[in-house]
Chains A and B, each alone.
Chain A
Amino acid sequence: GQSLEQPSEVTAVEGAIVQINCTYQTSGFYGLSWYQQHDGGAPTFLSYNGLDGLEETGRFSSFLSRSDSYGYLLLQELQMKDSASYFCAVRGYSGAGSYQLTFGKGTKLSVIP
C-alpha cells in the first residue's frame, strides 16, 4: 500500500513564502500531485510532478525527489485567499493489478495579516 506524511497545520504571514513538505512510501510510483481545498469546498488540482525537479505555475511551485520519496509545495507571495488545506497524493501499486491514488491527510494553511 501507500502512505504519505505531511504537516497537519502551517501558519504564515501574508506576502511571505511557505513550504509544505510531503514524504511518501509507495510501490510502483507514478507521480506526486497537489490539491487545494477551501473550507466547505471540493479539492482542486494544483500541480503534478512525474519526474524529479521543480514545476512552476504562477505563485505555486512543486518539487519532487524520487530518490528521497519526498516532495514539497512552495507558495510565494502569500495571499489571504491561500488559506486552505493542501493535500499531496501519490499513485502507486496497491496489489492485484491495481494502481490507486492515495491522498495525505492534508495540511491546513492559515495566512495571517
Chain B
Amino acid sequence: NAGVTQTPKFQVLKTGQSMTLQCAQDMNHEYMSWYRQDPGMGLRLIHYSVGAGITDQGEVPNGYNVSRSTTEDFPLRLLSAAPSQTSVYFCASSYRSGGRSDTQYFGPGTRLTVL
C-alpha cells in the first residue's frame, strides 16, 4: 500500500492564480480531510469528507473548494491564491470517524508559497 499520497510536494504561485492539490489513498478509508499547518498554529481543518459525494467545511474553509467523486481521491482547489494561503497542506484519511478507527494517516504534505 502506498498509503496517502499528495502532489505536488512544493508549489509556488502568484497571487490570483488557481491550482489543485491532489490527494489519494489506497486504504479504502471513508474519511478524508485537508489541514493546513502554519508556525505556532498547529493543524487546522479546512474541509473534510465522510464518504464519496459528501463534503463539509472545517475551521478555515474560505478560499478553498473540495469534491469527493471517488473513495480514493480528495482534491483541494485554491480558487484565487492569496499570500495568506502560504502554508503546508496535509491530507489525511481514516477508516471512519470516531473511536480507535479514527486514527489519521497523513500524506507527506504540500509546501505552498503564494507570492
Whether, in the assembled complex, A106 has its beta carbon less than 8 Å from a beta carbon of chain B, the answer is: yes
On A, residues with C-beta under 8 Å from B are: 8, 30-31, 33, 35, 41-45, 48, 50, 87, 89, 91, 98-106
With A42-B107, A43-B106 as contacts: A48 and B100 at CB distance below 8 Å: yes
Give the tally of cross-chain contacts (CB within 8 A).
Answer: 61
> Can you identify 20 A-B contacts, CB atoms within 8 angstroms?
A8-B40, A30-B99, A31-B99, A31-B100, A31-B102, A33-B102, A42-B109, A43-B104, A48-B100, A48-B102, A50-B99, A89-B104, A99-B97, A99-B98, A100-B48, A101-B33, A101-B102, A101-B104, A103-B42, A103-B44
Q: Tell me how many residues of B have a C-beta within 8 Å of chain A.
A: 25
**Interface majority SS (helix, strand, loop, mixed), chain A:** strand
B111 — nearest CB in chain A belongs to which residue?
A40
A57 to B35, CA, bound (A): 27
Closest to B97 in A: A99
**Binary contact readout B58-72 vs A (1 if CB under 8 angstroms, 0 otherwise):** 110000000000000
Q: Which of B41, B97, B100, B104 contacts A50 (CB 8 A)?
A: B100
